[in-house]
Amino acid sequence: MKKNTHKACRRYGLKLCQSDKCPVTRRSYPPGIHGVKGKKRLTEYGTQLREKQIAKAIYGIRESQFHNYYKKAIKQKGDTGQIIQQFLEMRLDNVVFRVGLAKSRRQARQMVSHGLFLINGKKVNIPSYQLKAKDQITIKPEKEKVKNFAELDKKLEKYAMPDWVSFDLKTNTAKILNKPSGDESERIFDPRLIVEFYSK
């Protein structure tokens, strides 16, 4: 993993990646020559911006994509922050990661882009593809023997996946059981502050 992938972790003092060698566990201060001087007290705007940037770093998405999730979320009934989280969690690359088929979201994006999966029997190679309840993600039969899926049964034996997804080892198929609740999503950032940031 390149060093640049850890800059966000160090900038925010949080482990946002899935690497066991994340430097934030050893250096919790921001990168750069001024990092050791301590953290600045953030304004209200700065706090809201920080939460948005953390969420973007976790899911590895661009600003335009993130803003589009917000615009779609405000058009729906319910808690806008939770709806944004659901959009993020129901991305195809995130689900591949969440069921344990990839070691990181970054790797999951690559696997999706390389066409390793079928959605309801159809090839989909778009990492941001939005899944729905009852959708099924199947490893393409001709890809079952690739290195990523070696000894999959042993890998998933002790893996704790979220309650809103399941995986059938007999058919190599993951299924979306329902939309994730707020408690089942990443809790590192506050979606309420993200909504406040965009609503200004």
Q: What DSSP string runs through 69-96?
A: HHHHHTTSSS-HHHHHHHHHHTBHHHHH
Question: What is the CATH number for 157?
Answer: 3.10.290.10
Instruction: Answer yes or no: do 73 and 131 share one domain.
Output: no
Question: What is the CATH number for 45?
Answer: 1.10.1050.10
Q: Coil, strand or helix: which one is 118?
A: strand
Domain limits for position 50: 3-82+187-198
Instruction: Answer yes or no: do 102 and 167 share one domain.
Output: yes
Per-residue pLDDT at 186: 62
Instruction: Answer yes or no: do 77 and 8 share one domain.
Output: yes
Task: Check if the beta carbon of residue 172 is closer than 8 Å to that of residue 138.
Answer: yes
Lowest-pLDDT range of 57-66, 80-89, 183-192: 183-192
Kindly report the average pLDDT of the chain as a whole number.
86
Of the candidates 24, 180, 6, the residue with the CA atom closest to the CA atom of residue 91: 180
Interatomic CA distance for residues 57 and 33, integer angstroms: 22
**Count of domains in the chain?**
2
Per-residue pLDDT at 106: 93
Whether the pLDDT of residue 3 is over 50: the answer is no
Per-residue pLDDT at 88: 95
pTM: 0.81
Interatomic CA distance for residues 99 and 87, integer angstroms: 17
